[in-house]
Structure 1
Amino acid sequence: MSSTTLAELVTSERESLLNGKDGIEDAVVTFARRAQSVAIGLLALGDVADAWDWLDALADEWVIDANNKFDAKYGSEPSKSAQLGPWEAYINAIYCAVLGRNTVEPTAETVLERTMEPFVDELENRSLAHRIDLARALSSYLLDTGTVAEHATALEDAVEERNKPWAVARYLPYARVLRGLDAGDVSEVEAGIEGLLEFHRNHVASARDADAVQKALALDATAMLALARRDGMAITVDHELIPDALNDAEHYPVGGT
């Protein structure tokens, strides 16, 4: 997809979301998914400062959105299905915090607290909700709880037991990244990011309904590269699906926040 098409999509969506609103914080409310396309589209286009403004607002809004979904679905009846829960929204909140300028710890604390509620593992179809294990592993790593390997193992076991090619292709590279981050193993992190890029290329960017943003940027891999650099790994990934800004010390310094 040409950069012109990407720019047109981002410009159109940004103008639509801001129309009649007081600012970005107001624009992302109830339209977080569309706003996230704007944010990561701006990042792909190299408009980093503008992307950060949207990502910062989204990091807060995704937590609100996820908490509302959590309370609505499980507040009065914590025995419903684990599927179609707030887990993706919690993961999106972590992505946006890591890629933006927000402090990640408050977001991670909320995510870990909610995903570790005692009833969660008793939910119907819990073994199919891989995002719960992923959200636990990500937030545990950010908070340095010492339980990353435990959650990564739970994710791997659930995915391998189900043995669905799509899930294997997406989640096992994630587990590899998280184990590498936890162990300080650069080569494992790089291999995991490559796996996430392969998943995005084969299952997201090539899909018939993929839009210009999905064709331009692999969010999973980009967020994990930002996290690795944030935590001191001098990793660069030269790939068309990762914005150049992620390899730029001015924007994403190694060991920076």
Structure 2
Amino acid sequence: MRDRREDARGVRPARRGEDAFEALNHTHPGNPWAEGTTRLLRGAVEGDRGGIETGVEGLLERHRNRVDEADHRALHATVFAAEPTALTLLAWDRGLEYEPQSRFVPSSFLRETLSKLT
């Protein structure tokens, strides 16, 4: 399981005013979580639907692999992927709707939640 302190290494530089995307991407070079999250966030901020799709799909692939690993499987992970769902909701909120067609990102939840945010 990933240590949450590792994630903070990407957040601290952003708080100092450095490029948040570069800080996040350098949390763990080559790490699928960092790469997928960076692509998705950059896509949402820059209005790049392709970046959102690539980022969501990368995070979902990582999630599916973790669900397949019995050592790291948590019950909630077998039905719901929190990070891709939250980041997809961010993209929808910015007007960049992309539906990943995955049971791990329930579109009904996105639609219901988005209406409550606006």
TM-score category by the smaller chain? 0.7 to 0.9
Is the aligned partner of 1:231 residue 2:90? no
Mark the CA change 1:135 to 1:237 in structure 2 (over 3 Å): closer, same or farther: farther
Report sequence identity in percent: 26
Asked if structure 1 preserves the Cα contact closer than 8 Å seen for 2:33 and 2:62, the reply is: yes
Could you tell me how far apart the structure 2 residues matched to 1:242 and 1:136 are? 30
Is the aligned partner of 1:184 residue 2:61? no
Aligned to 1:206: 68
Unaligned runs of 5+ in 2: none
Query: CA RMSD for the aligned pairs?
Result: 2.7
Indicate the structure whose relative CO is greater, using CA pairs within 8 Å and at least 6 residues apart. Answer: 2
What is the TM-score of this pair, normalised by structure 2?
Answer: 0.77
Mark the CA change 1:188 to 1:135 in structure 2 (over 3 Å): closer, same or farther: farther
Q: Which stretches of structure 1, 4 residues or longer, exceed 6 Å deviation after superposition? A: none
Report the AA paired with residue 239 of structure 1.
Answer: S
Alignment of 1:1-257 (within 5 A): 88=4, 129-134=6-11, 150-160=19-29, 168-203=31-66, 205-209=67-71, 210-248=73-111, 250-253=112-115, 256-257=117-118
Could you tell me how far apart the structure 1 residues matched to 2:105 and 2:32 are? 18
Report the AA paired with residue 244 of structure 1.
Answer: S
Could you tell me how far apart the structure 2 residues matched to 1:129 and 1:211 are? 20
Asked if structure 1 preserves the Cα contact closer than 8 Å seen for 2:13 and 2:19, the reply is: no
Report the AA paired with residue 35 of structure 2.
Answer: L
What is the TM-score of this pair, normalised by structure 1?
Answer: 0.38
